[in-house]
Amino acid sequence: MPYSFSDSGNLLNTYIVVIAIHIGFQMGFCTFVLSNYMKALSADLTEAALVDGAGIWRQYREIIMPLCRPAFAALATLEVIFIYNDYFWPLLFIQSGNRLPITTAINNLQGQFLSNYNLLAAGAVITVIPTLVIYLLLQRQFVAGLTLGSSKG
């Protein structure tokens, strides 16, 4: 019997459906950002590499990709924050509380008639910590990637 992703035979209440939705929705944004960044790179660099005998894949690997490091860092920071802070899709497709991501599971800390705001605040602070760590680690590349095309000269 082949390995299945769920006990019931459908994709509801699994991580696979949420991952597939994020890949589907974020792929267009990532493609748009990276293609615009790569179009802004100087064509003189690739022409010089072509004159020196570099093929298209070598140009891509040794010239284009290293120059795209700030764009990748900015995009990675944005995507991690977007996906980590997503509330709607896990709430829609994951029903059991033990499989919910932390940002959606924090909703379970709130009662129907009474809310313990100290508990909610502590949960919110714990939820924010990974986002802050990612941003602080990639801050220099993030700012460089966002401001690279801001000035002509």
Tokens read off for 103: 């940002």
The structural domains of the chain, with segments of one domain joined by +, span 15-150
What is the pLDDT, as a whole number, of residue 129? 92
What is the pLDDT, as a whole number, of residue 8? 67
Choose the weakest-confidence range: 14-23, 25-34, 59-68, 108-117. Answer: 108-117
Is the pTM higher than 0.75? The answer reads no
What is the per-residue DSSP string for 62-76? IIIHHHTHHHHHHHH
17 in Cβ contact with 100 (< 8 Å): no
**CA dist., res. 43 & res. 126, Å (int):** 46
What does the chain come to in residues?
153
- Name the band, by pLDDT with cuts 50, 70 and 90, for residue 148: low
What is the pLDDT, as a whole number, of residue 138? 79
Is 15-150 assigned to CATH 3.40.50.300? no
